[in-house]
Chains A and B, each alone.
Chain A
Amino acid sequence: MLDFIVKRFFQGILVVFLVLTAVFFLMRLSGDPTTLFLPQDASREQIEAFQHQMGLDRPLYVQYGEFMGNAVQGDFGESLRTQQDALQSVLDRLPATFQLAAAALILALVIAIPLGVLSAYYRNSIFDRVAVGLTVIGQAIPTFWMGLLLIFLFAAQLKILPSGGAGTPIHMILPMLTLAFYSTARFTRFTRSAMLDVLQQDFIRTAKASGTPTFPLIMKYALKNSLIPIITLVALDLGELLGGAVITEIVFSWPGVGRLIEQALMTRDFPVVLAGVFIIALIYTVINFLADVIYAYVNPQIRVK
Chain B
Amino acid sequence: MAESILEIKDLKIQFQNGKHIVQPIREVSFQIKAGQTVGIVGESGSGKSVTSLAVMGLLPDRISSIPSGEILFDGKELTKLKEKEWRKIRGNEISMIFQEPMTSLNPVFTIGQQLSEPLKRHRQLSNKEQKAAIIKVLKQVGIPRPEQIIHEYPHQLSGGMRQRVMISMALLCEPKLMIADEPTTALDVTIQAQILSLLKKITSKKDRSLMLITHDLGVVAEMCDWVVVMYAGVIVESAEVNELFDRPLHPYTRGLIQSLPSNNERKSKLYAIQGQVPKPEQVKQGCIFANRCPLAMEKCFQESPPAFQEDGHLSKCWLQSSDEGVVR
B-contacting residues of A (Cβ < 8 Å)?
A: 201-203, 205-214, 221, 224-225, 228, 298-301, 304
Contacts and interface: CB of A to CB of B under 8 A. Distances in A.
Given A209-B58, A211-B122, A301 B103 contact: no
A304 to B, nearest CB: 6
Given A208-B58, A209-B91, A209-B95, A301 B155 contact: yes
Contacts of A221: 106, 109
B133 to A, nearest CB: 14
Given A300-B155, A304-B153, A207 B107 contact: no
Interface residues of B, number: 33
A300 B108 contact: yes
Nearest to A300: B153
Contact of B90 (A209, A224, A299, A300): A209
Given A201-B103, A225-B107, A304-B153, A210 B98 contact: no
B50 to A, nearest CB: 14
Contact of B88 (A207, A211, A212): A211
Contacts of A208: 58, 90
A186 B164 CA distance: 41
18 contacts: A201-B103, A202-B100, A205-B58, A206-B106, A206-B114, A209-B90, A210-B95, A211-B122, A212-B121, A213-B84, A214-B83, A221-B109, A225-B106, A225-B107, A225-B108, A298-B108, A300-B155, A301-B107
Contacts of B88: 211
A13 to B, nearest CB: 30
Given A206-B169, A211-B89, A212-B91, 9 more contacts: A202-B103, A203-B103, A208-B58, A209-B91, A209-B95, A213-B84, A224-B108, A301-B155, A304-B156
A205 B87 contact: no
Contacts of B56: 209
A197 to B, nearest CB: 12
A221 B113 CA distance: 11
A178 to B, nearest CB: 35
A287 to B, nearest CB: 23
Q: Which of B106, B122, B169 has the most CB of A within 10 A?
A: B106
B315 interface: no
Contacts of A300: 107-108, 110, 153, 155
A210 B108 contact: no
Nearest to B94: A209
Interface of B: 56, 58, 83-84, 87-92, 95-96, 98, 100, 103-110, 114, 117-118, 121-122, 152-153, 155-156, 166, 169
Contacts of B105: 203, 206
Contacts of A202: 98, 100, 103-104
Nearest to A209: B96
A203 B155 CA distance: 13
Contacts of B114: 206
Contact of A210 (B84, B91, B103): B91
B98 A211 contact: no
Given A201-B103, A202-B100, A203-B107, A210 B90 contact: yes
Given A211-B118, A300-B153, A300-B155, A203 B91 contact: no
Contacts of A210: 90-91, 95, 117-118, 121, 169
A211 B96 CA distance: 11
A213 B108 contact: no
A214 B110 CA distance: 21
Minimum-distance CB pairs A-B, first 7: A210-B91, A211-B91, A202-B103, A203-B106, A210-B118, A211-B90, A211-B121
Given A300-B153, A304-B156, A206 B122 contact: no
Nearest to A123: B62
A203 B122 CA distance: 19
A224 B153 CA distance: 14
Given A206-B98, A211-B121, A212-B121, A299 B58 contact: no
A107 to B, nearest CB: 27
Contacts of B83: 214
A71 B58 CA distance: 62
Contacts of A201: 103
A252 B167 CA distance: 61
A178 B98 CA distance: 48
Nearest to A207: B117
Nearest to B89: A211
A301 B153 contact: yes
A150 to B, nearest CB: 39
Nearest to B113: A220
A224 to B, nearest CB: 5
A221 B96 CA distance: 19
Nearest to A298: B108
A207 B98 contact: no
Contacts of A211: 87-92, 118, 121-122
B104 A205 contact: yes
A119 B156 CA distance: 33
A205 B98 contact: yes
**Residue among A211, A213, A224, A299 with the highest chain B CB neighbour number at 10 A:** A211
A221 B104 CA distance: 13
A212 B117 contact: yes
A188 to B, nearest CB: 22
A183 to B, nearest CB: 25
A275 to B, nearest CB: 41
Contacts of B107: 203, 225, 299-301
B138 to A, nearest CB: 16
Contacts of B152: 304
Contacts of A212: 87, 91, 117, 121
Contacts of B118: 210-211
Nearest to B155: A301
